[in-house]
Structure 1
């Protein structure tokens, strides 16, 4: 496609360079196409991304969608001038929600809004997005880059995404099969993921903090590196458990609101998730946050994932099979509690 005749001097004078947009597309096209899976129709550049799902073997396919952004974690990316991982976060926050219902993500779209279109930086962002899509096994079928001078500073941007997955209705995971005695399996997180960064930024005063010096408390990582660690994507992990024949009764993605907000979302009336806090290690970054901010333990568990990014509820007799499947898939997982009678939704003991 030739854009050589497309140029507006008046628009450029207002701060929008359409030719920079074309250069960004040129840079990211090979990365986008590297995510393509069976079902993708067409290529980058159309007005809408098309996908033809394989419905073979499905009795009643149900589409499951998720949308999210990266939040103020982006402020760390700006300060560190590192933009090639936040795209993983964006994909993760969407597809990890979709998998909670048992759906496998099919495709993803991104939205990047910036003060100035820097093609190299856009390519860095999309590097992360495409890596996230590959980890999730879904295709990046489209997106939008909006140059908005006067709305965003020239060196800042926002990033959001949207994903669609599919599951056969009879295989939806909705908590209706939960029963007293089910075992809770916690999947290890990679760090803070993409929630709680308004508190993180306040605690560390990140605009004035040393973000690049390695710290013993963080096992040799710098504060900036630890905070920018991308969100873990759990799609293939849950797929491995389901593929092992484990009857997963409920799933919770531990995002904003931590354990107290998210775990009750997978429970049903009359049942409570009882989680043993000594059953999994707290990651060093959370200990550092709690100490630096003098934050009460309950607030920590009501804000952060504390080292557990996703929880699966499975029958007790299948708990070991679930752990074995997760280990084979490269996941670190722990048996962190069980489902008990009660109305609290979650109890941390």
Structure 2
């Protein structure tokens, strides 16, 4: 049975690297940078505005695109990974720049990638204002048309940033349905899934939550937002640390489609829920009284949503499944 570490990714070690990086960069910062450490975006002030910035990539999902010879959707993933992160601090996406690394000059490949980037920007309500294209044959190798894709996004926060600090014991956690694997866990997914059988589902673009989440923020009392990406539900600690609370996930959806196939391949529930989104791409923490309204907004945008758990005392992230309680940290 499969584990992420057996595929070459040790999430706990990665977390340690993140801590070391944050300690280094936050040891000395100018006063226009907000001291919000280890969150989904960096925050800084310019004039009377608070801006958020984030950078991310598509990871090894690019290898799936190359295996299938389909390159016009991974750009959506690239935009999604930054957009979904900056909205977690309450930022509205403004502008995006991309970096495309190629093994050789290939204008057709670049234009296919650009189709996805432009569609992603449309969904995220932002503009692509520039980027970088580099030819690096000594580093970008293998496959039909090897490439790497990443980007960076800036957004504006109207009012105070959402850090999770307002979460309270008893708040509901509303899970917004994912469109599939999204853009994390592919180093393992590619090892355990047959791309010939599951390629279409594996390449399904990451859902972009900008429109519904910004509407939720404007119409509901949103206490915290967590994008479920690398490390999956352990990501909830990013917002939990600000309120010194824990999380109980006791009503997770049943895995279907490609997620059900991945669940069957995993060594344990811990490995599955610590590696993959399990059908939920974004978590919204809100008072119980607002949960129905949050779910209604999601539904109006064509996104399934349900209460998957709640905020509890402590500092753990607990999955309750089949009578077992499993720490996901």
Shift of 1:59: 9.4
Select 2:221's aligned residue among 223, 239, 247.
Answer: 247
Q: Secondary structure at the match of 1:171?
A: coil
Q: Secondary structure at the match of 1:336?
A: strand
Instruction: Supply the distance in 1 between the matched residues of 2:195 and 2:302 (Cα, whole angstroms).
Output: 33
Instruction: Supply the distance in 2 between the matched residues of 1:97 and 1:149 (Cα, whole angstroms).
Output: 31
Shift of 1:279: 4.0
Answer yes or no: is 1:99 the counterpart of 2:99. no
Select 2:209's aligned residue among 212, 217, 234.
Answer: 234
Shift of 1:61: 1.7
Shift of 1:283: 2.9
Trace 1:183-332 onto structure 2 (pairs within 5 A).
Answer: 183-204=172-193, 209=194, 211=196, 222-243=197-218, 245-259=219-233, 261-268=234-241, 270-276=244-250, 278-291=251-264, 293-332=265-304
Shift of 1:149: 2.8
Shift of 1:210: 5.4
Instruction: Supply the distance in 1 between the matched residues of 2:47 and 2:103 (Cα, whole angstroms).
Output: 47
CA contact (8 A) 2:240 2:315 kept: no
Instruction: Supply the distance in 2 between the matched residues of 1:127 and 1:180 (Cα, whole angstroms).
Output: 44
In the alignment of these two chains, the number of paired residues is 273
Q: 1:129 is matched with which residue? A: 117
TM-score by length of 2: 0.79
CA contact (8 A) 1:191 1:283 kept: no
Shift of 1:60: 3.8
Shift of 1:270: 3.9
CA contact (8 A) 1:90 1:161 kept: yes
Sort the Cα spacing of 1:102 and 1:294 in 2 relative to 1 into closer, same or farther, 3 A: closer
Segments of structure 1 that go 5 or more residues without pairing to the other structure are 1-57, 212-221
Segments of structure 2 that go 5 or more residues without pairing to the other structure are 1-45, 321-329
- Deviation track 1:258-299 (CA, whole Å, cap 9, x = no partner) reads 11x2011111354111111x44232321221232x3421110
Select 1:167's aligned residue among 149, 157, 176.
Answer: 157
CA contact (8 A) 2:64 2:195 kept: no
Q: 2:8 is matched with which residue? A: none
Q: After superposing the two structures, state which structure 1 stretch, 315-324 or 143-152, moved more.
A: 143-152
Instruction: Supply the distance in 1 between the matched residues of 2:305 and 2:85 (Cα, whole angstroms).
Output: 19
Instruction: Supply the distance in 1 between the matched residues of 2:299 and 2:257 (Cα, whole angstroms).
Output: 22
Q: Tell me the C-alpha RMSD between the 2 structures.
A: 1.8
**Greater C-alpha Rg:** 1
CA contact (8 A) 1:240 1:326 kept: no
CA contact (8 A) 1:240 1:329 kept: no
CA contact (8 A) 1:249 1:313 kept: yes
- Deviation track 1:1-46 (CA, whole Å, cap 9, x = no partner) reads xxxxxxxxxxxxxxxxxxxxxxxxxxxxxxxxxxxxxxxxxxxxxx
Instruction: Supply the distance in 2 between the matched residues of 1:323 and 1:151 (Cα, whole angstroms).
Output: 45
Shift of 1:318: 1.3
Shift of 1:110: 0.4
Deviating above 6 A after TM superposition, structure 1's stretches of 4 or more consecutive aligned residues are none
Instruction: Supply the distance in 2 between the matched residues of 1:294 and 1:310 (Cα, whole angstroms).
Output: 22
Instruction: Supply the distance in 2 between the matched residues of 1:314 and 1:296 (Cα, whole angstroms).
Output: 30
Select 2:97's aligned residue among 85, 109, 131.
Answer: 109
Q: Secondary structure at the match of 2:275?
A: coil
